[in-house]
A and B are shown apart, each in its own frame.
Chain A
Amino acid sequence: MIAYIVRRILYVIPIALGVTVFIFSLVHLAPGDPLSAVVAPDAPKEVVEQLKRDYGFDKPLPLQYVIWLGRAVTGDFGISVATGRDVTSELGPAILNTMLLAVAATLVGFSFGCLLGGIAGYFQGRSLDKLATGIAVAGISVPHYWLGLVLVIIFSVELNALPAMGMGPGGSRAWAWDAAHMRHLILPVITLSVIPMGIITRTVRATVAEIRNQEFVQALEAKGLRKHQVLRHIAKNAAPTVLAVMGLQLGYLLGGSILVETVFSWPGTGFLMNDAIFRRDIPLLQGAILVLALFFVALNLLVDVVQTAIDPRMRRN
């Protein structure tokens, strides 16, 4: 088990390097001058050239990559072209704000997903299954940008019950776990949780339904085990598959939804990257994508390790 974990950790290094090359190339392959979005359209040429030198954009691309990578491993992602602020100081708070939203959406989405999926899988073919599956399909199909806007219209504009945007009085720096701030979480969390809820529901349903029909379950029932004891066995067998999907969904949520964060003006990584894309803020984009990609890699590693820990078949393999 320890050897497996060490091996998986070592695999992360070439994966991370590959990710950096991919991100750097993709961002620089996009057409357009790296400064065009942040300098005035008719800025004097000599000023633009000076800025290019200041940001290192005058150097050959491979050299720019090496310099960037060398700094990135120390946590220095450079200076934002648009704002002049340190990229790390921009990313840090944004990641925390997205994590707040993502963790809350995870709790809501995964809880409901497991519940609905479990019900649907256990009562496969019956009306409860159809109801739960219908809810799941609706969750996956509804565009969450649209859903966010509709929720705002209903709960903020018409009912005046919940706020339409932001992180509360005083903004993210004044965040507190009180009603005044938690109200701001409700609508974006619901919006963000519907897709993961739908996906987890369907995954759990399929897995539970498959396991439910296996011979060992019939054997357990024949032995006289109570329903909740049989369910415990089903859950343990379903866990590795469901965990893998949950890990992917959590990674997706941690990446920050550009659309949801823009609709709710939530100052997370999605909101940050939306602005960085439109302003072609290359250092910020590179830094943000790299950190999020590495999050994803780390999360997958964690899911693999947890899967191995709970599934004896994987340990034997």
Chain B
Amino acid sequence: MRALSRRMKLAAAIVAVAMAVGSYASQNARAETVLRVGMTAADIPLTVGQPDNGFEGFRFIGYVLYDALINWDLSSADKASGLTPGLAESWSVDPNDKAKWIFNLRRGVKFHDGSEFTADAVIFNFDKLMKTDSPQYDARQASLVNFRIPAVKSWRKIDDYTVEFTTKEPDSFFPYQICYILMASPAQWAKTKDWQKFAAEPSGTGPWKLDQLVPRERAELIKNSGYWDSKRVPKTDRLILFPIPEPATRTSALLSGQVDWIEAPAPDAIPRIKSAGLNVVANGYPHIWSYHLSRLPDSPWNDIRLRKAANYAIDRDGIVKLLGGYAIAAKGHVQPDDPWFGKPGFELTYDPEKAKTLLKEAGYGKDNPLKVKISISASGSGQMQPLGMNEYIQQNLAEVGIQVAFEVMEWQSLLDRWRAGAKADQNKGIHATNISYTTQDPFSSFTRFMQSDLHAPNGVNWGWYADAEMDELLKGAKTAFDPKERDTWLAKVHTKQVDDAVFVWVVHDVAPRAMHPKVKGFVQAKNWFQDLTPVYIQE
């Protein structure tokens, strides 16, 4: 009897302790934190490896599910965003043959499916994009990204953690190009050998893993707790992406609490968003809204006086006001705090009198206006508020004696015309085109527009600009492998670009985004891409 009683007391004690522990655990069990984002895209960007939907695709799927050998440094809101080691710990150019690059890969990195990241994965992914006879070749992914890596000629594995790339010629811009090539898991692809099936169960090395995908409705991603960069393991458990292409719907979704974060709120809704106690964040980033001028023989823009006059005529501060303060008046193609800004002597100020003087010298004025036609779009990625902005500028230019007629078209049509170049029949009579550009890397910022041989069909030097001195400066930048030296060359490129008024520049976008005050930790980098890993929800 006594023994039974002791056993019963022991059993009761164990039960009591278990209940206490269980109660403690349940009280302290953390509910999953969820960040819900409303994107501007009309569909979830492709999850197959290389995303579509432009840079928004990279922002919310590309760099979320995947890494590149070199990533962007998105940790600071104050300084220009540069490159940082990704799946490659280091890289260097062969001093004896500057067309050869050696990349030393990071060890111990695993794909989401558990397989290891090695040099074989690098070869696999480059073959996927460029080796048309490889079983994994995907023309669709190639069409989305190959133009961003024009320098590469060949690639080979040296050992499991070393890869060698050969470029077509010495090209110091190569690291900037590598960061757009994302590493998908060869082992995952090998299970089905079908990129469509891969897209449904993608596997990268990125800080998030895909949990659920409902095309055109939502993508749910969960944090990758085993991410190779322990400092960038997401602080939110679950990220849900919603495609909400209509700006008013996005704004309403945020205001009604259906989402926590929206991209690109409608500018006229920003006061309403702020009055509801929500936060609007914005920061300059490598973007320029400008007019890309034709330099064909019959174009009036071959006269530098007219190019400068047009630049003087634009009230950039007025445009910033038109956009509710959400823009930065341009001082050049890149922003003054950019290491490539240089020291241009031509200052972009609003000076209609100077504009009129220059026009008069060139034989124009209000009585004999310069008549030009510009192709513009009604909307489009990075185009901001094209109709309103163009109408405002049209008035500015009319006041000094430049009469602008617009040919308004749908965004994709404008891009078709842009690809075709100023000489194409469809662009006959068009003296400039209004397409916003990224200035994130040297090739995208300068080379593709100003290198004389990169006109259509070889590239997007839309206006057929050709200047021997500029070609030399671009070559100097391309062959300067010391980063500081390269920046110096690029500063010379930009200085000449501004001094020659190669474009008519207007404003830089600041990528406003609106979010609930419970969303904390976000650092808006000066980059088209953003890091969602430090974001957390504070209820």
A residues apposed to B, CB below 8 Å: 31-33, 35-45, 47-48, 50-51, 54, 82-85, 90, 94, 149, 152-153, 156-157, 160, 163-167, 171-173, 262-265, 267, 271-272, 274-275, 278-280
| Distance, CA A44 to CA B129, complexed state (A) | 12
Chain B residues near A171: list those with CB within 8 A.
214, 217-218
The 7 closest A-B pairs by CB, nearest first: A39-B143, A156-B256, A164-B252, A275-B42, A171-B217, A43-B143, A157-B255
Q: Is B339 an interface residue (CB 8 A)?
A: no
Chain B proximity of A252: nearest CB distance (Å): 21
B143 pairs with A41, CB closer than 8 A: no
Contact A165 B258 (CB under 8 A): yes
- CB contact between A47 and one of B139, B218, B248, B256 (< 8 Å): that residue: B139
Contacts of A272 in B (CB 8 A): 216
Query: Which residues of chain B come closer than 8 Å to A264, judged between CB atoms?
Result: 249
B128-147 CB mask vs A (1 if < 8 Å, else 0) is: 00001000000110111111
| Contacting residue for B143 out of A51, A166, A167, A280, CB 8 A | A51
Chain B contacts of A47 at CB under 8 A? 139, 142-143, 146
Name the contact of A265 in the complex, choosing from B132, B143, B243, B457 (C-beta under 8 A).
B243
**Is there an interface contact between A42 and B252, defined as CB atoms closer than 8 Å?**
no
With A40-B144, A84-B140, A166-B242 known to touch, is A32 a contact of B413 (CB < 8 Å)?
Answer: yes
Task: Give the distance to chain A from B381, nearest Cβ to Cβ, in Å.
Answer: 10
CA separation between A38 and B418, bound complex, in Å?
15
Number of A-B residue pairs with CB-CB distance less than 8 Å in the complex they form? 139
Chain A contacts of B42 at CB under 8 A?
271, 274-275, 278
Contact A165 B252 (CB under 8 A): yes
Chain B hits for A267, CB < 8 A: 216-217
Q: Is B52 an interface residue (CB 8 A)?
A: yes
Q: Mark B32-76, 1 if CB is under 8 A from A, else 0.
A: 000000000011001010001000000000000000000000000
Residues in chain B near residue A153, CB distance under 8 A: 252
- Chain A's closest residue to B43 (CB) is A275
Asked if B245 lies at the interface with its beta carbon under 8 angstroms from chain A, I say: yes
- A41 contacts B415, C-beta separation under 8 Å: yes
CA distance A153 to B251 in the complex (A): 10
B90: interface (CB < 8 Å):
no
CB-defined contacts of A48 to chain B, threshold 8 Å? 143
CB proximity of A138 to chain B, nearest CB, Å: 22
Q: Once the chains bind, are B143 and A172 in contact (CB under 8 Å)?
A: no
Tell whether A262 pairs with B245 under 8 Å between CB atoms, given A163-B258, A166-B258, A173-B214.
yes
Q: Which residues of chain B have C-beta atoms less than 8 A from A274's C-beta?
A: 42, 245
Q: Mind listing 28 A-B residue pairs with CB under 8 Å?
A: A32-B412, A33-B416, A36-B416, A40-B145, A41-B419, A43-B143, A47-B142, A50-B139, A50-B142, A51-B143, A82-B52, A84-B199, A90-B215, A149-B252, A152-B256, A163-B256, A164-B252, A164-B256, A165-B242, A166-B258, A171-B218, A173-B214, A262-B245, A264-B249, A265-B244, A271-B216, A275-B216, A278-B412
Query: CB-CB < 8 A to B218: which residues of A?
Result: 171
On whether the beta carbons of A262 and B147 are closer than 8 Å, the reply is no
Contact (Cβ within 8 A) B147 A43: yes
Contacts of B145 in A (CB 8 A): 40
**Are the CB atoms of B215 and A262 closer together than 8 Å?**
no
Give Cα distance in the complex from A51 to B138, angstroms. Answer: 9
**What chain A residues lie within 8 Å of B448 (beta carbons)?**
42
User: Please, which residue of chain B has its CB at the minimum distance from the CB of A164?
Assistant: B252
Inter-chain contacts of A156 with B (CB < 8 A)? 252, 255-256, 258
Residues of A within 8 A of B214 (CB): 171-173
Residues of A within 8 A of B248 (CB): 149, 152, 263
List, in ascending order, chain A residues with CB within 8 A of B43's CB.
82-83, 275
B280 at the interface (CB under 8 A from A): no
Expressed in whole angstroms, the Cα–Cα distance for A256 and B311 within the complex equals 47
Contact (Cβ within 8 A) A42 B419: yes
From the candidates A38, A152, A275, name the one contacting B252 in the complex (CB within 8 A).
A152
Task: Tell me the smallest distance from the CB of B514 to a CB of chain A, in Å.
Answer: 13
Give Cα A29 to B145, complex, Å: 29
Considering the chains assembled together, what is the distance between the CA atoms of A202 and B415 in angstroms? 46
Q: How far is the CB of B255 from chain A (nearest CB, A)?
A: 4
| Interface residue total, chain B, C-beta cutoff 8 A | 48
Residues of chain B from 226 to 248 with CB closer than 8 A to chain A in the complex = 242-246, 248
**Partner pick for B217 among A39, A43, A44, A172, CB 8 A cutoff:** A172
Q: Given the known A-B contacts A43-B144, A272-B216, A275-B216, are A164 and B249 also in contact in the complex, defined by CB atoms under 8 Å?
A: yes
Q: Are B415 and A164 in contact (CB under 8 A)?
A: no
Q: Are A165 and B140 in contact (CB under 8 A)?
A: no
Give the interface centre of B142, B199, B217 by most chain A CB atoms within 10 Å: B217
A262 touches B196 (CB 8 A): no
A85 engages B215 (CB within 8 Å): yes
Q: Assuming the A-B contacts A36-B416, A164-B252, are A84 and B196 also in contact, with contact meaning beta carbons closer than 8 angstroms in the complex?
A: yes
Q: Which residues of A contact B246 (CB under 8 A)?
A: 262-263, 265
Contact across chains for A44 and B147 when beta carbons are under 8 A apart: yes
Bound together, the chains give a CA A302 to CA B347 distance in angstroms of: 71
Please determine whether A83 and B244 come into contact, CB atoms closer than 8 angstroms. Answer: no
Q: Cβ of A36 and Cβ of B415 under 8 Å apart?
A: yes
Most buried by A among B52, B139, B459: B139
State whether B258 touches A83 (Cβ < 8 A): no
Chain B, range 379-424, C-beta contacts under 8 Å to A: 410-413, 415-416, 418-419
A81 nearest in chain B by CB position = B140
Chain A contacts for B215, CB-based, 8 A: 83, 85, 90
CB of A51 within 8 A of CB of B252, answer no
Contact B457 A42 (CB under 8 A): no
Report A-chain residues with C-beta under 8 Å of the C-beta of B291: none
Contacts of A166 in B (CB 8 A): 217, 242, 258
User: Which residues in A have their C-beta under 8 angstroms from that of B242?
Assistant: 165-166, 265
Q: Do B459 and A42 touch across chains, with their CB atoms under 8 A apart?
A: yes
Give A171 to B113 CA distance when docked, in angstroms: 26
A85 to B216, CA, bound (A): 12
Answer whether residue B195 sits at the interface, using C-beta atoms and an 8 A cutoff: yes
Q: Judge whether B253 is part of the interface by a CB distance below 8 angstroms.
A: yes
Shortest CB-to-CB span from B134 to chain A, Å, is 13
Known: A42-B459, A279-B412; 19 extra A-B contacts, CB below 8 A, are A36-B419, A38-B140, A38-B143, A40-B148, A47-B143, A47-B146, A48-B143, A50-B139, A51-B140, A84-B48, A152-B256, A156-B256, A156-B258, A163-B258, A164-B256, A262-B245, A265-B246, A274-B245, A275-B43
User: Measured between alpha carbons, how far is A15 from B100 in the docked complex, in Å?
Assistant: 64
Asked whether any CB of chain A lies closer than 8 Å to the CB of B480, the reply is no
Chain A residues with Cβ under 8 A from B460's Cβ?
41-42
CB distance from B92 to the nearest CB of A (A): 28
CB within 8 Å of A: which of B141-157? 142-148
Chain B residues, Cβ within 8 Å of A44? 142-143, 146-147
Shortest distance between the CB of A175 and any CB in chain B (Å): 11
Docked pose: A47 CA to B419 CA in angstroms: 15
Q: Is B257 an interface residue (CB 8 A)?
A: yes
Which residue of chain A is the closest to B444 with respect to CB atoms?
A42
Q: With the chains together, A173 CA to B407 CA distance in Å? A: 43
| A51 pairs with B139, CB closer than 8 A | yes
Q: Nearest CB to that of B138 among chain A residues?
A: A84
Q: How far is the CA of A278 from the CA of B460 in the complex (A)?
A: 22
Type the 1/0 row for B70-107, where 1 means its CB is closer than 8 Å to any CB of A.
00000000000000000000000000000000000000
